Amino acid sequence: MAENTNSAQQFTDEQLGYVYENRRYVGGKETMGFVLWDAAQSLNINTYSSRFITNIVKIDLGYQTIAKTINSIWDIVNDIFTAAIVEKTRTRWGKFRPYLLGLAVPGCIATLCYWFMPVLFSGTSSMSLAKFIFYVLLEILREGVGTFQSIARTGMLATITPHPVDRTRLITIANFASGTFGEKLPEQIMTIILDLIDNNVFKAGKSGKEGQYLMAFVGMGAFTTLVSSGMSFWFFMNSKERIMQSVQTPSIKDSVKSIINNKPVLLMTLADFLGGFGISGSKSDYYIDVLHFASMTLVAGLPAAPLSPISYSFVPWFRRRFSSRVLYICSNQIGSILYVFVFLFGCIGFNPKTMKGGLYRNKWAMLVAMATWELIWTLFYGLKSVIGTELYNESMDYCEWKNGYRTEAMTSVAKGLAAKLSGSVSGVVTTALKKMGGYDQNAYTKGEEQPDYVKFYLFAMFTIIPSITGSLGIVPMLFYDLHGKKKEQMYAELLARRKEASLAASDGDLESVIELEEKLKKARDLK
């Protein structure tokens, strides 16, 4: 149905207030599986993946720029046909579960190969062609598998329950549990290990620091890959898709039309696209190469740690008092706004002519600045964890309401494609700038210092530069209007429609289901 339908007059104000009902479809076992699956997404040391490739595997930064360009093109191409395949999928296991189950093991093996690269190519130079080709082919394979998994993961989250309250409950519980019980524990352990090696706490053997770094990355990378893969697979085996897809699969034309006439998706897509042009360096590079204090991320976060689980209790209050667009903009931009003040603080005492001085080189001064950043940012952590996912799921329900069918695969790809186009440009530019800026790939494992101008570059690239270059993403979301009565009307009509289709399907009356779909299609075409 189109958003200007008059059918809302059928519903009373009480019926339109359905979103406050406590209706549950997902049981305890499946909820626990969902929590584990959510935790598995961040149970890794991926925050150090760039350092791993640059300083441990030692692939030349020029080669990395080429690899990023190739993978970016492949990423765009494979997204399109992968979405078309998933969109047409109809099985007794669901639309998305077959891909999550079938690609779990291949994805795990490919990721293990990634972490074992320094062992496979031990002793090779940064300009090794064989190592570069293996890296490119492996990234192409991982990107292909990852695209299927990403589309299926997004679709699974949108179809696991038909009720928005139940869905919000799941997302909130999962994020709360992850924040409370240490989903980032492997990353934190890795941070401490890197600091201990960097500051010569461990006695270096014959292989020296380089061997210690290699063992740390390979060991933690392989361990987290196996554990997170096992947690995810358990959920895939015990989950269900509860929102029934249309019996008739939508054509490519209908799928494209469903995206074009979906205002919420278009606005979020444009926001991601513009925001994706933000050029951002690595905070961990700054902590390690400038401050020699990788554990800064842990120590600075200690004062804010108690606020992380508490921040989820603020979400209902935020949602009652502010529109979705205000919450989305605020939760996504608060970090960038705060980084502007961190940059200004770090530049106190800095001499741009000599590139000397500046509080950004003082670990204790920056500890105060980053601890303050963490305290303020954590107040919005719960909101940030929930609001983005909820807006996307709402937009998929909007598609079903307006068109009579769902196109999770094509929509998620279209949305992701826009972000990837701009993000790919940003990633290539960032890597190229790092090489042009004179970053020494060998200094880390040799225990040597980066030049002064490189240190300032690393500081600016994680604070002020992304704050400026990524700010355009705010503009589109100023026009987001799926809230209030419009949102209530949409869900009231959707629940009634889903109930009718579900009853017909449970009676084995597929003709009635198809007839209902045809009626909705005709009503949509007339409008």
* pLDDT per residue as tens digits for the range 36-58: 888 888 888 988 898 899 989 99
Residue 360 pLDDT class (50, 70, 90 cuts): very high
Task: Identify the weakest region by mean pLDDT among 81-95, 284-298, 304-318, 510-524.
Answer: 510-524
**Using a CB cutoff of 8 Å and minimum separation of 24, what contacts does 248-257 make?**
248/405, 248/514, 248/517, 249/87, 249/88, 249/90, 250/87, 250/405, 250/407, 252/84, 254/403, 254/405, 254/407, 255/84, 255/87, 255/407, 255/410, 256/410, 257/403
Calpha distance 486→477 (Å, rounded): 17
Cα separation, 289 vs 459, in Å, equals 10
Which pLDDT score is estimated for 32? 87
Amino acid identity at 288? I
Rounded CA-CA distance 233/235 in Å is 5
Whole-angstrom distance, CA of residue 427 vs CA of residue 72: 9
State how far the Cα of 423 lies from the Cα of 429, in Å rounded to an integer.
10
Determine the average pLDDT of the residues in 265-293: 85
Rounded percentage of the chain residues whose pLDDT exceeds 90: 22
CA-CA distance, 222 to 111, in Å (whole number)?
Answer: 8
Residue from 66, 64, 69, 70 nearest 50 by CA: 64
Contact 116, 52 (CB under 8 A): no
Tens-digit pLDDT profile for residues 341-356: 999 999 999 999 888 8
* 351 phi and psi angles, rounded to 5 deg: -105, 105
Q: What is the C-alpha separation between 208 and 278, in angstroms, rounded?
A: 38
Report the mean per-residue pLDDT for the chain. 80
pLDDT surpasses 70 at 523 = no
Q: Please identify which residue in the block is written with the tokens 């604070």.
A: 463
Kindly state the average pLDDT of the residues 116-135: 93
User: In this predicted model, which residue has the larger pLDDT, 409 or 284?
Assistant: 284
Query: Among 359, 342, 375, which Cα is nearest to 461's?
Result: 342
d(CA 107, CA 449): 37
3-class secondary structure, 356: strand
How far apart (Å, rounded) are the C-alpha atoms in residues 352 and 291?
19
Q: What was the pLDDT predicted at 10?
A: 46
Q: Which residues are CB-contacts of 499 (< 8 A; sequence separation ≥ 6)?
A: none
Confidence band for 9, pLDDT divided at 50, 70 and 90 = very low
pLDDT tens across 439-459, in order? 888 887 777 888 999 999 999
**What is the identity of the amino acid at 476?**
P
pLDDT, residue 526, reads 42
> pLDDT tens-digit profile of 184-228?
788 888 989 988 888 877 776 666 778 888 999 999 999 999 999
Helix (H, G, I), strand (E, B) or coil at 50: helix
* pLDDT greater at residue 255 or residue 361: 361
